[in-house]
Structure 1
């Protein structure tokens, strides 16, 4: 059976992620797995077995605290725990192979360190990854990046599902003022702004149409912006509770990382961000 996974390390950022994950698990009627990864902080050629045992026990204690908090937040929720050693990113990706969703905490916008778990996990996970940066208000807005790609369709699927589960509004945003975002790679569109609006507007409406049919009770709007995808989504994220993007959009070329727009959202968006792999659509 699938489950929701949350990374927990006892920090305020991970506690915020835990609260979001409990909500996801309850809405989706899935069990929650709380995962903590402990690490021996010294070179591998220096092993103090007593010290390792102490650090492991500290990890177990911290994990038990996270499980207790999850059970307090969701009294009827089935909660499991997983303790790993090593690096948090690979451990969460491994756990996520049979998961519905991975939830992790994040630093504040502009403070994401190189090699952060919040950057590494979305690049390699097989399921959607929610990087929690803020608490969710009652009246929420989901912003979804659209560009006509398979990745954007997967993002729309996840975004509409979230909006339906939570009773939130949704806005689909297409920032088309970038060569990689032009439908079919047709750069001649940039010579005629009216034609660009017509063609890209049609792509946007076609992408959203089937999800409006599937989720007729979700209040959904569209927004075509003559801006780069990065600029359009970061601007829209100012009003969002959750911003959703495909792991790689129409212009992405490096299959080992998330696309440039998704990377920018993870680093700079003021709200919680979900990155959705194409395989999740």
Structure 2
């Protein structure tokens, strides 16, 4: 994938973690980095009389300082990477979605200064992940350990194929293992499930074979990547959560085969974004228009 890695910056700790992740990613994959701070209109509820500057001046000063601090941090971590900054006004979600059209990827913190402290995932990261034209990486906090493994959820759908391409790119750049996870949830909630247990077992075996066969072309196309695959009979979100414990990055498609065609962000990708603590990449096929 060509283009710059775009990072949304707002001065929060979460955004700082995103800058750090993106700087390392840009260095590994030979990309340039552009840090974007979108200054949205602050609420005047505090009263401008409390500020030594006007509200607009105070906001502009804060945004500029936050952006400069982020750029300094990126250059410190990745001295060989070209780092540029972009300070603008407008709606942050709309601006970042527009940026995603030509970007390699968009990297965001899990929640910014505008989010409620108790929320796992902020409205900006959720909206951008759901509507961006390409990969969106959501970073919850600083990377504390390196496991040497990328996890990708794969169900053979168009979104999953795009996710696999991105996961392979990440694995090759990191010289990491790639763990491909396919999860099939049996209808255990049915009162008749026990009577049909043998049929369910047969159905899962068929799913296993199909999933294994679907991975074979990827293994043949990228022999330099250490690729393992597993097929599990459990909810996809639970399977990916468990796999994430030893992952540096979890990659999912924006929606899989089980989602409604009109859904912007599928239930699996939403669940992974909310529950997985390591960085998560949500990948939307480039042929789909951002909406």
Which TM bucket (shorter chain)?
A: 0.7 to 0.9
Query: Which residue, out of 120, 129, 147, partners 1:122?
Result: 129
1:260 maps onto 2:267 in alignment? yes
**Structural RMSD (CA):** 2.8
Match of 1:65 in 2: 69
Kept in 1, the 8 Å contact 2:110–2:121? The answer is no
Query: Which residue, out of 174, 182, 199, partners 1:166?
Result: 174
Aligned length: 270
Q: Distance in 2 between matches of 1:99 and 1:219?
A: 28
Secondary structure of 1:30 counterpart: coil
CA shift, 1:117, in A, is 1.5
Kept in 2, the 8 Å contact 1:103–1:131? The answer is yes
CA shift, 1:136, in A, is 6.1
Q: Which runs of 5+ in 2 are unaligned?
A: 112-116, 188-195
Q: Distance in 2 between matches of 1:201 and 1:190?
A: 16
Q: Deviations over 1:183-209 (max 9, x none)?
A: xxxxxx976244323321222223322
Q: Distance in 2 between matches of 1:276 and 1:136?
A: 24
- Cα–Cα, structure 1 residues 249 and 75, in superposed 2: closer, same or farther, change >3 Å? same
> TM-score, normalised on structure 2?
0.83
Q: Distance in 1 between matches of 2:280 and 2:180?
A: 14
CA shift, 1:254, in A, is 5.5
Q: Distance in 2 between matches of 1:20 and 1:35?
A: 15
Secondary structure of 1:217 counterpart: coil
1:146 maps onto 2:147 in alignment? no
- Cα–Cα, structure 1 residues 191 and 278, in superposed 2: closer, same or farther, change >3 Å? farther
CA shift, 1:174, in A, is 0.9
Bigger helix fraction? 1
- 1:108-257 correspondence to structure 2 within 5 Å: 111-112=118-119, 116-134=123-141, 135=143, 137-178=145-186, 192-253=199-260, 255-257=262-264
Q: Which runs of 5+ in 1 are unaligned?
A: 180-188
Q: Distance in 2 between matches of 1:190 and 1:84?
A: 59
- Cα–Cα, structure 1 residues 280 and 156, in superposed 2: closer, same or farther, change >3 Å? farther
> TM-score, normalised on structure 1?
0.86
Match of 2:23 in 1: 22
Q: Distance in 1 between matches of 2:285 and 2:198?
A: 31
Kept in 2, the 8 Å contact 1:157–1:211? The answer is no
Kept in 2, the 8 Å contact 1:128–1:280? The answer is no
Kept in 2, the 8 Å contact 1:38–1:56? The answer is yes
Match of 1:183 in 2: none
- List structure 1 segments (4+ residues) > 4 angstroms apart after TM superposition: 46-49
Match of 1:106 in 2: 110
Q: Deviations over 1:149-176 (max 9, x none)?
A: 1111111111111111101111111111
Q: Distance in 2 between matches of 1:149 and 1:178?
A: 19
Query: Which residue, out of 91, 96, 115, partners 1:92?
Result: 96
